[in-house]
Structure 1
Amino acid sequence: MGPKINVPNVKLSSGFDMPIFGLGTWKSKPGEVTEAVKYAIDAGYRHIDCAHVYGNESEVGAGIKAKIDEGVVKREDLFVTSKLWNTFHSVDKVIPACKTTLKNLGLDYLDLYLIHWPLGYQEGGELFPKDANDKTLYSDVDYVDTWKGMEACVTEGLSKSIGVSNFNSHQIDRVLAVAKIKPAVNQIECHPYLNQAKLMEYCKSKGIAVTAYSPLGSPDRPWAKPDDPKLTEDPKLVELSKKYKKSTAQILLKYQVQRGNITIPKSVNKSRIEENIKIFDFELAPEDMAYIDTFDCNGRVCHMMWCNDHKHFPFGIEF
């Protein structure tokens, strides 16, 4: 272990500081994620991104507890995010869902709780409710009503800040129109093939911080096809990585952080977890930032197209 890396914070509209860099845990297997969290905290990560639907919050919590028990960190040193799943959008289901997440993580409070998707699914059963034809079953709960439950999580001390994920500008406008507590964060897919410049600009104008998920293009997404382009192997990025003597992953992560986006790469590999955070000792030149911007091709990988007939499907408008 080298010296602990100090990660800059982003000041949220809620008044709290959020580390601009953290560990993602989507697709991290329960058996591996406890170790991944421990590696990350040892490497200087102080921000862990979780969600109920990932099915591994108990194991994430075990990693956090181990490092608190060892005296490496205190709870208040950490920033822990989780997300409300689509089957809990009814206002009376939000607080119980948040409490389940807290119990699984072994924590008294979250630093940030997000509505995972604007789309509600049929409640009361499976996390992925389907009919006989494998079609997802929806609920008609409006996320604007769900937001009242999110605000109650703050007033009851369950989460310090609240926000949204995968919301478009129109959907955020609708939340802002009713919000007593405004969303502090919008967590969205963001990488050079989908650089989100317009949605970023919109969020900034509303005082909403952006968290970039899948900043490496999510090569291990379950529905990836063998011939899909791999962002980390893009020849244009390989050239940049030679110029800066950094890996393509480090270039991709630095690109987001330099844009001011909170960035949460997922890994369970110790050396990669350590490599990913080593991005605070160099800057990308403005012309290289502009060059990476030109890679945009609306290359969304978490497109949710199987739900594109949902009335709250978020990706039917430009941003």
Structure 2
Amino acid sequence: AFLYQNEAEVGKGIQAMIQDELVDSEGFTVAGETSFLDTWELVDAGLVKAIGISNFNRDQTEDILNKPGLKNKPANNQVATHPYLSQEKLINYCHSQGITVTAYSPLGLPTRPWVKPDKPCLFQDPNIKDIAEKHQRTISQVLLRFLVQREVCVIPKSTTPQHICWFSFQVTMLSLNRNYRLFPLLSYLIIHKDYPFSAEF
């Protein structure tokens, strides 16, 4: 909640669940030494249908895939990806392993509260604006199409058949990749033993 700056909203939701006796306060304690590899036992036990991962690099994903006796691999890896952070190698690796990829922040967080005026903004990029004008589409449609044509799931969904038809065009924006992360990487996260962003992909 701290990273997403929605602590108040999450806190209200937790309090409501405790008040309605849906959970108790003990249910929100997560043991920090639990290995993420152990969570796959929940699939084996039939307690969950599938498990996805988020922000896992290739090495961390391989740790799971190489787990002795692994019966179920991750269903999905959710990562930040957009034209400024194309994550091409990681996405190709996941696809080669049969793991789908979902993009979070596919529009580049244009309203993020920590943005500084000197930081890049996808909605102000002249190349992206040119592509949108050329195809008579909005910048949002171009940004989403960039991901969909690479077989990356996006969190915004289509609500009408007309919206799906808007995607009948192709974009080429790999040259825009800057390896630029829109989320600030907080210093205390960098020292975590499972910090994923030190690896190439």
State if a TM-score over 0.5 links the two structures.
Answer: yes
1-structure distance, mates of 2:192, 2:120: 28
The 1:255/1:55 distance shift into structure 2, 3 A limit, reads same
Shift in Å, 1:174: 0.5
CA contact (8 A) 1:233 1:248 kept: no
Indicate yes or no: 2:146 matched with 1:255: yes
CA contact (8 A) 1:256 1:263 kept: yes
Shift in Å, 1:177: 1.2
Residues 96-133 of structure 1: per-residue CA shift (max 9 Å, x gap)? xxxxxxx69xxxxxxxxxxxxxxxxxx948xxxxxxxx
CA contact (8 A) 2:37 2:64 kept: yes
Shift in Å, 1:224: 1.9
Alignment counterpart, residue 62 of structure 2, candidates 173, 176, 198: 173
Equivalent residues in 2 for 1:105-120, closer than 5 Å: none
Residues 212-271 of structure 1: per-residue CA shift (max 9 Å, x gap)? 1111111233432233221122111111111111110111001111110001149xxxxx
The 1:28/1:260 distance shift into structure 2, 3 A limit, reads farther
CA contact (8 A) 2:141 2:167 kept: no
The 1:56/1:207 distance shift into structure 2, 3 A limit, reads farther
2-structure distance, mates of 1:172, 1:54: 32
The 1:54/1:283 distance shift into structure 2, 3 A limit, reads farther
* 2:42 counterpart letter in structure 1: A
Shift in Å, 1:162: 0.8
Shift in Å, 1:284: 2.8
1-structure distance, mates of 2:165, 2:176: 23
Indicate yes or no: 2:70 matched with 1:185: no
2-structure distance, mates of 1:57, 1:257: 35
CA contact (8 A) 2:53 2:77 kept: yes
Q: TM-score, normalised by structure 2?
A: 0.77
1-structure distance, mates of 2:137, 2:121: 18
Indicate yes or no: 2:36 matched with 1:146: yes
Alignment counterpart, residue 210 of structure 1, candidates 88, 101, 109: 101
1-structure distance, mates of 2:9, 2:50: 21
SS at match of 1:171: helix
Indicate yes or no: 2:164 matched with 1:283: no
CA contact (8 A) 2:52 2:75 kept: yes
The 1:250/1:184 distance shift into structure 2, 3 A limit, reads same
Unmatched tracts of structure 2, length 5 or more = 14-21
CA contact (8 A) 2:40 2:72 kept: no
2-structure distance, mates of 1:150, 1:54: 30
CA RMSD of aligned residues (A): 3.4
The 1:54/1:296 distance shift into structure 2, 3 A limit, reads farther
SS at match of 1:202: helix
CA contact (8 A) 1:214 1:265 kept: no
Who is 2:88 aligned against?
A: 197
Who is 2:17 aligned against?
A: none
1-structure distance, mates of 2:177, 2:138: 20
Q: TM-score, normalised by structure 1?
A: 0.50
Aligned length: 184
The 1:214/1:251 distance shift into structure 2, 3 A limit, reads same
Structure with higher strand content: 1
Shift in Å, 1:315: 0.4
Who is 2:197 aligned against?
A: 315
Unmatched tracts of structure 1, length 5 or more = 1-25, 31-52, 59-102, 105-122, 126-137, 267-272
Who is 1:294 aligned against?
A: 175
SS at match of 1:200: helix
Who is 1:86 aligned against?
A: none
Shift in Å, 1:54: 7.5
Who is 1:156 aligned against?
A: 46
1-structure distance, mates of 2:78, 2:130: 29
* 2:91 counterpart letter in structure 1: M
2-structure distance, mates of 1:177, 1:301: 31
